[in-house]
Structure formats: C-alpha cells, structure tokens
Structure 1
Amino acid sequence: MLASLFVVLPVFGLIGLGYLARGTRLLRESTGEGLSDFVFVLAVPCLLFRTLAKADIPPTQPWGYWIAYFSGLAVVWVLAMLIAGRCFARKGPELVVSGFAAAQSNTVFVGVPMILKAYGDAGAVPLGLLLAVHLPVTMTVATLLAEGRSASIAMLLRRLFAHPIIIGILLGSAVRPFQAQVPQPFWTLIDLLAGAAVPCALISLGIAMRRYGLESGLALPAVLSALKLGLHPLLVYGLAVHVFAMPAHWSGVAVLFAACPCGINAYLFAERYRQGVADASSAITLSTLLSLFTTAAWLTFLGVG
C-alpha cells in the first residue's frame, strides 16, 4: 500500500500545486487555459510524434494481447457514454469526455512505474507495445467522435488533418522508417516539448479543480472511476487469462495498465472543447485517490504485490 502511495503521490503533488497557486492567486485562471492549450497543441503532439517514431513495434503482432486490452477499453467507453447520456443528461462532446475518462489510463505517472516495479524487465516489452498505441488510438477515437457528429465527410477530413493530435500521429508514423537519420538537435527539441506535457497538464488540472470544484457532483465521476478501476481491468483479465493464450507477465501488464486511474488527456480534451471539464477533472482526481487501494488489490490478486 505504501508503494502505491509513493507512485501516485507526484500526481497529487502537481495537481495540488496548481490548486494552491490559483487559490493564493499566484496564477490567474487564464493561466490554466493557456497551459492546457500549450499541452494539447504542442506538447502532446510532440509526445505522440516521438512515441510513434521511436517505438519498437514487432513485425508479428500479438493479436490476442491487443484484442484483450482494447475490447475491455471499448466496452467501458461505450458504457460510460450510455450512462452519462441516459442518467446524467450529458450530450455532444460531454459524452465523449465521459467515455474518454473511463477508458484512457494514466500511464506516465501511475502505469509505467507500477508495472515496471511489478514485472521488471520482463514487463518492458508488453508495456512498450501498449504505450506506443494506447494514446494514439484513444485520442483518434475521441476526436472522431467529437468532430464527426455534425460534420460532413469533407469537413470531418479537414478538421482531422488540421487537428494537432492527428498531425502528431501522422508525422510520427511518417518519420518512423528513417528516424535514425533525423539530427539529434531536432530530437532534443521534441524531448523538451514532450517532457513538459505531463507536469503542465497536471498543474492546469489543479487550476481547473479550483475553478470548478465538484460542480458536476460526485455521482458521474464515481461511476467513471468505478468503470475505469473496476470493470476495465476485470474485462481485460477475463480475456487475457481465460480466452487468449499469453505469458502471465503479458496478461498481468495488460490488467495493470487497465487498472490505472483516469488519464489526464480526458481533461485536456474537455478543455479543448470547453465541455465536460468538471466531469473530467473530478473523475481524474477521484480515480487517482481510489487507485491507492484498487491498484494494491490488483497487484496482490496477480501475485506481484
């Protein structure tokens, strides 16, 4: 339990720093919006670009591994949108934010240190595979859902190809075959921008928490947290262990990846569309707090705690 606390403590530290800085008026409200714009338009696209350009993806894909993880993700995403729409009257991009929050994992601050501590070097390959495709897949799906509801095909294509996230994904995929020939100063620049993504996003989230508080109440964030921390890893466990044949450390990595709290990118996405921000910020904070107990339980259940 103490180890789990140390893993998520930096998350709360940066969120709390943003909250405190806004509460003491060291930072303005507009600072949070500016930070989220910077992260969404520059830092996260650079992170995706670097991830896809340098990811070590094997030629033969572990389809059972992919299906186990992303089937669970899809079920949770759809359920979150259905519940948010029918029980909480959310609509449009707000629905997408609810689905995104329930399905997308906090990998950088929680997933990576927890999984590497649990499985060591043996978990590096399955973890790297998920890191390479997780955010590109979820960001692309969220963008398609948000942009595609009221747009024609031509308008949708224009919006997608002008979208910072999609641009980062496409450029990273294009550079991948010859990334070794790209000059090192260019990668240094990309690393600096990508490295700013998580801390700036968390401080921005803290500012938003000060602004919105629990404006959306606890009910919807609690539902999203339950789907993310409970149902998602349970579905992945069932598929990875009982349906598809894979080594125990592969299935364990997939389950722990799914068991991570709601990812910060749901908040960034909400800020971008100026809808569902209170839902996302509350779900991220609540699920991160609850993950102190749920991740410890999953680690124990998998026999690596």
Structure 2
Amino acid sequence: MTVLSLIAPIFGLILIGWVAALAGFLSEKVSDGLSEYVFAIAVPALIIATLTRPGLTGEVTWSYWFSYFGGAGLSWLVGSLIGLRREGVGRTGAILHGFAASQSNTIFIGVPMILQAYGDAGAFPLFMLLAVHLPLMMGCATFLIESDGQRSVLQRVKGLGLVLFRNPIFLSLMLGLVLRSFGLAPGGMVKSLVDALAGTASTCALIALGAGLVRYRVLHDLPGAMVVTSLKLVLHPLAVWVLAFHVFTMPPAYAGVATLFAAMPVGINSYLLAVRYKAETGLIAAAVMLSTLLAVATTVAWLAILGHR
C-alpha cells in the first residue's frame, strides 16, 4: 500500500469537513454534535468490535510502554522547559505546553490512520496503547497542574477516577478487554448493530475534525504554536522511533504503531484542558490547527521511514 493511498482518504476527509464548515454547509452545532457522536458512540463501538474480534491476539511487553511513554516524557519535558522561558507563561501554562507537545490526536486521526497502515497486526497494540494513553496522560497533566492546590492527593485521584469512568472511550476499552478475557463477543443482531456503528467511526471522526478546525486561529500565537507543533510532529515520534527500533526489541508492527501513534498531531484534549484551566488557550488552539495541517507532510515522511512507500 503506497503512502498516497494511506494518507489521501484520511486528510481528504478532513479537508472535506473543513471546506464544508467554511462554506456554511456544516454549522458549528452540527460539527459539535458529530464530534460527540464519534466520541460517545462510534469509536466505542469500533473499540468493542475490534477487541472482541476472533483471532485478535497479542502480548504487550514493557519495552513497548517504555518506548512510547519515554518519547512522550521527553517531548513533554522539553515543551515545558521552553514554555517556562516564554514571557508571561506561568507554571500551569508551561505544563500545558509540554502536554500539548506529547498528547497525540488518537481518536480522530490516530485510530483510522494506524488501522489502515497496519491492519489486524496493529489493532491489538493500538488499542492497548489507547487504553493506557488516555488515563495516564490526562492523569499526569491534571495532577501536575493541581499539585500546588488545596486538594489532597486522595481527592485528586478520586476526581480523576470519576472523570475516567464517565468517559465512553475508557469504558468501552474496559468492556472490550473484559469480554476478550472471557472469550465473549457480540453475536447476531447485537454484532450487526455494533459493526454498523463501528463502520461510521473513521469517516465521521475525520469530517468532524475538519469542520472543527474552522474555529481555531493559527495566527494568534504562531511562533509558540510552531514550537509545540515541531516537538509533537518531530521530537516525539523521533524519540519513540529510536527507542522502539534501536534500543528495545519488539515485533515490527508494534514498533511501527508506537511511532505512528506518536507522529499524530496535537490532540484535542490538550485544548480542552487549556480551556478548563484558562491558560494558553490561543496558543494550543493554534497548535492543534497548525500540527493537523503540517501532519499531511510529516506523516508521509514517517510512513516512508516505517517502510510504507
């Protein structure tokens, strides 16, 4: 499969969503509703359908986790240190700089891209990484930001737990893993329904992302956004690639999934966290937009490095 055949459907659908929203064919309400459908229904159905699929096997070793999160930690650290050196950026803003530089857009781009690139061989490591990535990254960011607050550690952990157990992605991952561990899978009408919903996930996610990009303004803080984008699209995947392919040993598909996962643009969660804590919202919104646009080129490069030509 050529690189062009891999990226054209992905970024083509993002472009269609962006043009449709720009032309007024998709309103902001429709874009938000489509995003909510993807997050709450379509992607959870895809996760359950994939994890319960017969024949899906795999084993994730510690080297896989060290490779991905080692690269993420490096990018987060460098992003935070650079943020601290910027005038007017406080401690919370610096943490958010680092978080944006290491938080991948997994649901809207990562899942469809990696499944298309690696198929069944990449499905198991992809969803295992997704299961750990969400609570660990969000948990670390929330804990760091609130570590100098008045809430106790127990209160923070309890609050994070409540957030996770209201998250459809996290819940579907847990349900899929439980069903898989007992050898259970949806059948009959339930399977048909789950498969029908799962089949809409990629297309709807990419259209929703493209439509949502209209609201972001790249020129708000272009220099800072460019730094975060460079760390996310270059440093993060480069560090993971070195660790996965040249330091640790693992199946090639696992190493490729980890690298491509890291090569995804800045995740929407970083913007949502910036809004929650009222810090660096403009810069991170710009970084989401800029990294998504530049990912068209950088993804081609990383796919070529990973052997998809």
Same fold (TM over 0.5): yes
Q: In structure 1, how many angstroms separate the alpha carbons of the residues matched to 2:50 and 2:220?
A: 34
Count of aligned positions: 292
Q: In structure 2, how many angstroms separate the alpha carbons of the residues matched to 1:203 and 1:213?
A: 19
Seen in structure 2, the aligned counterparts of structure 1 residues 282 and 250 have a Cα distance that, compared at 3 Å, is same
102, 110, 114: which one pairs with 2:113? 110
171, 186, 209: which one pairs with 1:205? 209
5 Å-filtered alignment, 1:84-123, equals 84=83, 87=86, 89=89, 99=99, 102-104=102-104, 106-114=109-117
Q: In structure 2, how many angstroms separate the alpha carbons of the residues matched to 1:269 and 1:194?
A: 25
128, 132, 137: which one pairs with 2:132? 137
Query: How far apart are residue 67 of structure 1 and its match?
Result: 2.0
| Residue 46 of structure 2: aligned partner | 47
| Residue 67 of structure 1: aligned partner | 66
Query: How far apart are residue 205 of structure 1 and its match?
Result: 2.3
| Residue 33 of structure 2: aligned partner | 34
5 Å-filtered alignment, 1:1-305, equals 3-54=2-53, 56-58=56-58, 61-84=60-83, 87=86, 89=89, 99=99, 102-104=102-104, 106-114=109-117, 125=121, 127-145=122-140, 149=146, 152=155, 153-214=157-218, 216-246=220-250, 249=252, 253=256, 256-258=259-261, 260-262=263-265, 266-267=267-268, 270=271, 282-298=286-302, 305=309
| Residue 121 of structure 1: aligned partner | none
Normalised by the length of structure 2, the TM-score is: 0.74
Query: How far apart are residue 228 of structure 1 and its match?
Result: 2.6
Normalised by the length of structure 1, the TM-score is: 0.74
Contact 2:232 2:265 in 1 (8 A): yes
Query: How far apart are residue 298 of structure 1 and its match?
Result: 4.5
Fraction of identical pairs, as percent? 31
Q: In structure 1, how many angstroms separate the alpha carbons of the residues matched to 2:165 and 2:302?
A: 40
Contact 2:46 2:194 in 1 (8 A): yes
Structure 1 counterpart SS, 2:182: helix
Contact 1:237 1:251 in 2 (8 A): no
Q: In structure 2, how many angstroms separate the alpha carbons of the residues matched to 1:90 and 1:52?
A: 42
Query: How far apart are residue 75 of structure 1 and its match?
Result: 2.2
Query: How far apart are residue 227 of structure 1 and its match?
Result: 1.8
Q: In structure 1, how many angstroms separate the alpha carbons of the residues matched to 2:102 and 2:182?
A: 36
Contact 2:84 2:91 in 1 (8 A): yes
Query: How far apart are residue 290 of structure 1 and its match?
Result: 3.4
Q: In structure 2, how many angstroms separate the alpha carbons of the residues matched to 1:207 and 1:277?
A: 19
Superposition CA RMSD, Å: 3.8
